[in-house]
Chain A
Amino acid sequence: MSGFLPWWLAALALGAITVGYWIAVRRPLGVSGVLARFTRVREELEFDRGVAAVNRADPIALEAELLALTQEAFGTVGAPLAGATAPAAPEVGSGAGVMEPAVPAAEAGRACAPVPSLGAHLTFLGMLVVGGALAALLRGTWGAGLGEAFARHLTPGPAGLAALAGGGVLVGFGTAMCGGCSAGHGLTGAGRLMPGSLVSTGVYFAAAVAVAVALGWRLT
């Protein structure tokens, strides 16, 4: 069995994974940013420690310290500023009145979860690899080459490897520069109609088409 999924089934699976990931983990699905973290492990571990310290802090002590710093900064604790704008959460479905405390995040739609630990991200990336292995083993295609056209014209010799490495540098640099990849911008960002993602997706797709057509012209 070496055929691929029909287009609608692939679309369904990718869409479900993208939205499901947000609902389950409350993080936007994306790979390039996660991968890039592993090019600066020490800095990322330190950042993780900081996030964990904030999350793990004793709530009472944390609250006391926050109130003390609030007092120091504003000279007041509890009284809203004159001309204060709308409640914290952007969209309020609960009808919270002026006299009530700040709207809990849960009532105004789910908030994003804090940055997962480097370990959790490693698990994510590792399972991407395992997923590929599972699929290849089930279909009996493990170890196959990159593809027929690639094998013919950009062989696994030095030229082919150089092309892959060079292309990889473009991918790594480009995704870091535009802030996302096919999943981060294409599936999640465009899925949420984010301007940066819509532009990125359109541009990277156009660039890819241009290069592919140029390569294709050379291939035939």
Chain B
Amino acid sequence: MACAHTPTCPLFSLFTMKSSLKVWQDRYCMDKFEECNRYQLAHAGDRVPPNMLPNGRSLQLT
């Protein structure tokens, strides 16, 4: 089953834009979403930084 946050996760929609990014969805969103840093933060009750990737790295967005 997939992560419940896919409709609102900004990264999920980013990953949809390009086929080369699909690996993120395959690895996290659609499979092991419990290992996604964003999911863990959300589940623990914290705000998820919009630029955080599932593996904990952050987009710099300069």
Contact = CB atoms under 8 A, between A and B. Distances in A.
Interface stretch (A50-58, A200-208, A212-220): A50-58
A43 B51 contact: no
A80 B23 contact: yes
A193 interface: no
B8 A51 contact: no
Contacts of A151: none
A85 B26 contact: yes
Contact of B21 (A57, A70, A86, A112): A70
Contact of A54 (B15, B17, B59): B59
Contacts of B25: 88, 102
A84 B26 contact: yes
Interface in B20-46: 20-27, 29-31
Contacts of B60: 65
Interface in A45-100: 47, 50-51, 53-55, 57, 61-63, 65-67, 69-70, 72-74, 76-81, 84-86, 88-90
B22 A76 contact: no
A53 B18 CA distance: 20
Nearest to A106: B16
A161 interface: no
A53 B51 contact: yes
A66 B2 contact: no
A59 to B, nearest CB: 9
A104 interface: yes
A101 interface: yes
Question: Interface centre among B18, B20, B25, by most A CB within 10 Å?
Answer: B20
Contacts of B14: 54, 62, 66
Contacts of B21: 66-67, 70, 102
Given A66-B59, A111-B13, A102 B23 contact: no
Given A105-B16, A112-B8, A81 B59 contact: no
A136 interface: no
B8 to A, nearest CB: 5
Interface of B: 2, 6-8, 10, 12-27, 29-31, 47, 49-51, 53, 55, 57, 59-62
5 contacts: A62-B61, A69-B57, A84-B26, A102-B18, A105-B16
Given A51-B10, A63-B17, A102-B25, 15 more contacts: A50-B50, A53-B50, A53-B61, A54-B10, A65-B59, A65-B61, A66-B21, A69-B59, A73-B24, A73-B53, A80-B26, A84-B22, A88-B29, A101-B18, A114-B8
Q: Which 3 A-B pairs have the closest CB atoms?
A: A101-B19, A50-B50, A84-B26
